[in-house]
Amino acid sequence: MLILASKSPRRIEILKKLGKKFEIIPSQCAERSTKKRPSARVVELALQKAFDVANKYPAATVIGADTLVFCKGEVIGKPKSKADALRILKKLNGSWQSVYTGVCLVCKDTHQLVYGYDVSHCKARRLSQAELAHYAGKHMDKAGAYAVQDNEDPFIERIVGSKTNVVGFPVEFYQQLQKEFTK
């Protein structure tokens, strides 16, 4: 049995497009990290999420994932309010940022564990204050408060790296981990 330890609609959609049959059992862990580096933080949180569910379903293969945006020295997750979304968008406005996603696959019964992270770089368009105010709050459930999977999203003008990573689940990296997991 394959379990996705997430309720993220984007992760669910991406796994379905890959033709995977899986259960959705969101992690209930607190999602706290002591790590400062974005790469270490997303890996730590992906591990926490995967093990939270794997402890309850030890025979299953569990996928955990976590995504964050890093810009100008700040780790940026999901906005906490519309005002926070506006603050985030102002920080990202016209700037390059890095999007990190940690991915973990674990099966406790077989003692299998693989994990790592992918990183992509995005350039935000420069929007006016009025455009930012209008845009703020539209993507409260997404790290960085924007959504590249929405083709009409005006915020990101360029992506270097995996677009699916920016969406929240790096397909190519996941497939690489899956090959390693099944060796």
Report, as an integer, the average pLDDT of 130-151: 81
Residue whose pair of structure tokens reads 């394959």 in the numeric block: 2
Instruction: Spell out the residues 6+ positions from residue 173 whose beta carbon is closer than 8 angstroms to its own.
Output: 101, 103, 116, 117, 118, 162, 165
Report the predicted TM-score, pTM, of the whole model to 2 decimal places.
Answer: 0.91
Q: How high is the pLDDT of residue 150?
A: 65
141 as an active site residue: the answer is: no
Q: What CATH number is given to the structural domain containing 126?
A: 3.90.950.10
Is it the case that residue 123 has pLDDT exceeding 70? Answer: yes
pLDDT band at 137 (very low <50, low <70, confident <90, very high): confident
pLDDT band at 2 (very low <50, low <70, confident <90, very high): very high
Q: What's the domain count of the chain?
A: 1
Catalytic-role residue among 52, 66, 141, 150:
66
When mean pLDDT is compared across 47-51, 137-141, 169-173, the lowest value belongs to 137-141
Q: How high is the pLDDT of residue 121?
A: 98
Is it the case that residue 152 has pLDDT exceeding 70? Answer: no
Instruction: Tell me which residue range forms the domain holding 167.
Output: 2-181
Is it the case that residue 24 has pLDDT exceeding 70? Answer: yes
Q: How high is the pLDDT of residue 136?
A: 84
Mean pLDDT score of the chain, rounded to an integer?
93
pLDDT digits (tens, 9 = 90+) for 53-99: 999 999 999 999 999 999 999 998 889 999 998 998 999 999 999 99
Instruction: Tell me the two tokens of residue 143.
Output: 């790290």
Buried b (16+ CB within 10 A) or exposed e, 31-68: eebeeeebbebbbbbbbbbbbbbbeebeebbbbbbbbb
